């Protein structure tokens, strides 16, 4: 106590008036630069049931962002695509997205990072993981089909994380359901309040455009799949007679009536309710015809959250923290068919990422640096020197990364909430071209390391068994093995119910189990023993028979989060 006093007095006498040092100034500048970068970034995922129009909408966003000049209509080869979100050959052929693609563009001083997810439930693992890497979502609904089972599941995950949601009701150029009915269904099934911010004028054959409830203007519909529609009509008041002249008396009367109802039924839009994920603003349009997309994008830029703090096993990490942190949420081999690389997709959570700087790989306790980190502006990969929170960057990986890995500047922490999955469908891999067994071996290892399928090896005969969550994954693997590795494979169905990673403190019991169950035992790629349970009934029986053993249903049982 006394020492402290003396010390302070001494300081008062001799210490110079505190001045800002050069280092301090530099530090302040860095801090401000970081804050600026964070404020100007928005990272979001487009999600929905299959075929609702996510990839189409993504392309139109890129068009607005000037990232591409003409958007090729999805599944049409008439226009040569200059940028596309469905980059894998198999996606183009089948017209479905099988994996998330990441793209960025600038719009009105904002760096927008879009993650276009696959809608099919067989690829939902990828979508669920992507949801950990974004700060908000745009949910696309097909006006004919309304809310589907997969939409409900995706919303459940968003609700769990309190992710803010904007809804886009798409395909208004086709006959669809009544907008009020759709909104009721959204509220009911998705358990979220809605607030329309635009309103459709007619639907299908009678579709004439959208009325912007916020700016009070009309945007008139002229089908155009490739260019941006600029035709808007500013009006002071919906009662303005000029509206009748433009859209016709009947449509105008109906619009007036409906808008009055909307304003009467729905509370005014509140940004805070959207931010806390209790209210979803709703937009109507047609992604294919590039209609209602600008209203959506403008509102998104205005209200969507900037990069948010994220939870770790130690403490929450705030984006403005000086030290860099980030985590890997996706791995993809052969992203570019010309360069056979494996890319780890990293979401930056805090600080500034720099090229060639050493970072700490927490799981491996290893220092790594990256000389060619890339950004994904449109579908072009470009090497970057630095990146900021909210950005998703691609790191060339020679096998160091697994999904969920955290990078820091030295601190030991792990980002939480990246789900792992329990495989449900099992097939044995068969080689159909003995000359290509090396390629098949390499291919299956690399593809399963991406985390969408798991590889198990049966000791007897070294046979390979693949486990996935969805049937279609096998088609994708087969296709990619052939086109990316030149190997021909087939899959033989196996009747298994679940894969169980077995651990125990009782070594004897564990060994007994492994011996007795030898026929159903396999190893995962790290050599851990895995029991393939033939049925639910047998699994329950074994769990009762062996209370000393623990049965885990995902390979990540040490930090398990299942969806
Ligand atoms: N009529 C009409 N068709 C549309 C519209 N938007 C998209 N489509 C069509 O709907 C189909 C599916 O579009 P995508 O954008 O591939 O849908 P997606 O949601 O990305 O599909 P997945 O990623 O496979 O789940 C394509 O044939 C599009 O051309 C629209 O506004 N009107
Ligand atoms: Mg798609």
Query: Is the separation of the CB atoms in 381 and 374 below 8 Å?
Result: yes
Q: Which H or E run includes 310?
A: none
- Higher-pLDDT residue of 388 and 74 is 388
Query: Is the separation of the CB atoms in 522 and 532 below 8 Å?
Result: yes
C-beta of 46 in contact with ligand 1 (< 6 A): no
pLDDT value, residue 264: 92
Residue 382 has pLDDT above 90, yes or no: no
C-beta of 530 in contact with ligand 1 (< 6 A): no
Which of helix, strand or coil describes residue 408? Answer: strand
Q: How far is the CA of 118 from the centre of ligand 2 (A)?
A: 5
Query: Is the separation of the CB atoms in 30 and 123 below 8 Å?
Result: no
C-beta of 97 in contact with ligand 1 (< 6 A): yes
Q: Give the number of the atom of ligand 1 that is nearest the alpha carbon of residue 56.
A: 15
Phi-psi domain of 75 (left: phi exceeds 0; alpha: psi -120 through 50; beta: other): left
Q: For a pocket test of ligand 1, which of 61, 71, 74, 91 has the largest count of ligand atoms closer than 8 A to its C-beta?
A: 74
Ligand nearest to the CA of 101: 2
Q: Give the number of the atom of ligand 1 that is nearest the alpha carbon of residue 174.
A: 1
Judged by average pLDDT, the poorest of 120-129, 142-151, 426-435 is: 120-129
Residue 102 has pLDDT above 80, yes or no: yes
Average pLDDT over residues 369-383: 80
C-beta of 51 in contact with ligand 1 (< 6 A): yes
Residue 68 has pLDDT above 70, yes or no: no
Closest Cα to atom 29 of ligand 1: 74
C-beta of 287 in contact with ligand 1 (< 6 A): yes
pLDDT value, residue 66: 72
How far from chain centre, in Å, is Cα 173?
28
C-beta of 58 in contact with ligand 1 (< 6 A): no
- Higher-pLDDT residue of 129 and 229 is 129
pLDDT value, residue 273: 96
Distance from C-alpha of 322 to C-alpha of 325, rounded to nearest angstrom: 9
C-beta of 443 in contact with ligand 1 (< 6 A): no
Q: How far is the CA of 549 from the centre of ligand 1 (A)?
A: 48
Ligand nearest to the CA of 223: 1
Average pLDDT over residues 510-522: 94
C-beta of 99 in contact with ligand 1 (< 6 A): no
Q: How far is the CA of 55 from the centre of ligand 2 (A)?
A: 4
Nearest partner of 97 among 133, 45, 50, 130, judged by Cα = 50
Q: How far is the CA of 417 from the centre of ligand 1 (A)?
A: 30
Q: For a pocket test of ligand 1, which of 47, 48, 53 has the largest count of ligand atoms closer than 8 A to its C-beta?
A: 53
Distance from C-alpha of 184 to C-alpha of 192, rounded to nearest angstrom: 10
Residue 86 has pLDDT above 70, yes or no: no
pLDDT band at 17 (very low <50, low <70, confident <90, very high): low
C-beta of 285 in contact with ligand 1 (< 6 A): no
C-beta of 446 in contact with ligand 1 (< 6 A): no
**Torsion sign, CA atoms 496, 501, 506, 511:** positive
C-beta of 127 in contact with ligand 1 (< 6 A): no
Residue 233 has pLDDT above 80, yes or no: no
**Torsion sign, CA atoms 439, 440, 442, 446:** positive
C-beta of 454 in contact with ligand 1 (< 6 A): no
C-beta of 48 in contact with ligand 1 (< 6 A): yes
pLDDT band at 125 (very low <50, low <70, confident <90, very high): confident
Q: What DSSP designation does 222 have?
A: -
Q: For a pocket test of ligand 1, which of 90, 123, 288 has the largest count of ligand atoms closer than 8 A to its C-beta?
A: 288
Q: Give residue-wise pLDDT tens across range 448-469.
A: 988 879 999 998 778 999 999 8
pLDDT value, residue 341: 80
- Higher-pLDDT residue of 421 and 174 is 174
How far from chain centre, in Å, is Cα 62?
17
pLDDT value, residue 77: 35
Q: For a pocket test of ligand 1, which of 46, 56, 71 has the largest count of ligand atoms closer than 8 A to its C-beta?
A: 56
Q: Give the number of the atom of ligand 1 that is nearest the alpha carbon of residue 76.
A: 29
């Amino acid at each position: 106590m006394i020492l402290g006093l003396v010390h302070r007095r001494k300081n008062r006498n001799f210490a110079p008036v505190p001045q800002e040092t050069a280092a301090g100034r530099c530090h302040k500048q860095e801090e401000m630069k970081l804050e600026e970068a964070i404020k100007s970034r928005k990272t979001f995922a487009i999600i929905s049931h299959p075929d609702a129009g996510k990839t189409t909408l993504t392309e139109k966003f890129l068009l607005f962002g000037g990232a591409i000049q003409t958007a090729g209509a999805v599944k049409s080869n008439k226009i040569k695509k200059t940028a596309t979100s469905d980059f894998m050959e198999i996606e183009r052929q089948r017209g479905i997205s099988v994996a998330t693609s990441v793209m960025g563009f600038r719009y009105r001083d904002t760096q927008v990072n879009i993650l276009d997810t696959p809608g099919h439930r067989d690829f939902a693992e990828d979508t669920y993981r992507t949801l950990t890497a974004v700060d908000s979502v745009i949910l696309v609904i097909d006006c004919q089909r309304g809310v589907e089972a997969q939409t409900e599941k995706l919303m459940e995950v968003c609700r769990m994380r309190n992710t803010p949601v904007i809804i886009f009701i798409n395909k208004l150029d086709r006959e669809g359901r009544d907008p009020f009915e759709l909104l009721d269904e959204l509220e009911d099934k998705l358990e979220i309040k809605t607030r329309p911010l635009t309103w459709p004028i007619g639907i299908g054959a009678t579709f004439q455009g959208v009325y912007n409830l916020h700016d009070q203007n009309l945007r008139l519909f002229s089908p155009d799949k490739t260019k941006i529609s600029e035709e808007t009509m500013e009006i002071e008041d919906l009662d303005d007679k000029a509206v009748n002249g433009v859209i016709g008396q009947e449509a105008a009367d109906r619009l007036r009536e409906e808008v009055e109802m909307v304003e009467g039924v729905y509370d005014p839009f509140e940004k805070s309710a959207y931010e806390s994920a209790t209210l979803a603003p709703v937009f109507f349009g047609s992604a294919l015809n590039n209609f209602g997309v600008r209203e959506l994008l403008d509102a998104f830029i205005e209200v969507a959250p900037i990069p948010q703090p994220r939870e770790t096993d130690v403490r929450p990490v705030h984006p403005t923290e000086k030290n860099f942190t980030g985590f890997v949420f996706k791995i993809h081999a052969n992203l570019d068919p010309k360069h056979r690389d494996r890319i780890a997709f990293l979401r930056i959570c805090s600080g500034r990422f720099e090229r060639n700087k050493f970072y700490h790989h927490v799981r491996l306790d290893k220092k790594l640096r990256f000389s060619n980190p890339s950004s994904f502006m449109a579908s072009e990969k470009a090497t970057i020197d630095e990146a900021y929170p909210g950005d998703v960057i691609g790191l060339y990986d020679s096998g160091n990364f697994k999904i969920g890995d955290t990078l820091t500047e030295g601190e030991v922490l792990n980002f939480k909430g990246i789900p792992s999955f329990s495989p449900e469908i099992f097939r044995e891999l068969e080689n159909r071209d003995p000359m290509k067994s090396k390629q098949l071996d390499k291919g299956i290892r690399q593809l399963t390391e991406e985390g969408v399928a798991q590889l198990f090896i049966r000791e007897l005969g070294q046979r390979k068994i693949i486990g996935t969550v969805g049937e279609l994954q096998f088609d994708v693997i087969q296709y990619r093995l052939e086109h990316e590795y030149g190997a021909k494979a087939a899959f033989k169905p196996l009747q298994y119910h679940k894969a169980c990673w077995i651990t125990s403190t009782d070594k004897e019991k564990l060994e007994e189990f492994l011996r007795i169950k030898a026929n159903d035992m396999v190893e995962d790629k790290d050599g851990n023993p895995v029991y393939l349970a033939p049925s639910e009934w047998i699994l329950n029986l074994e769990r009762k028979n062996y209370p000393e053993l623990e049965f885990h249903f995902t390979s990540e049982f040490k930090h398990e989060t299942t969806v």
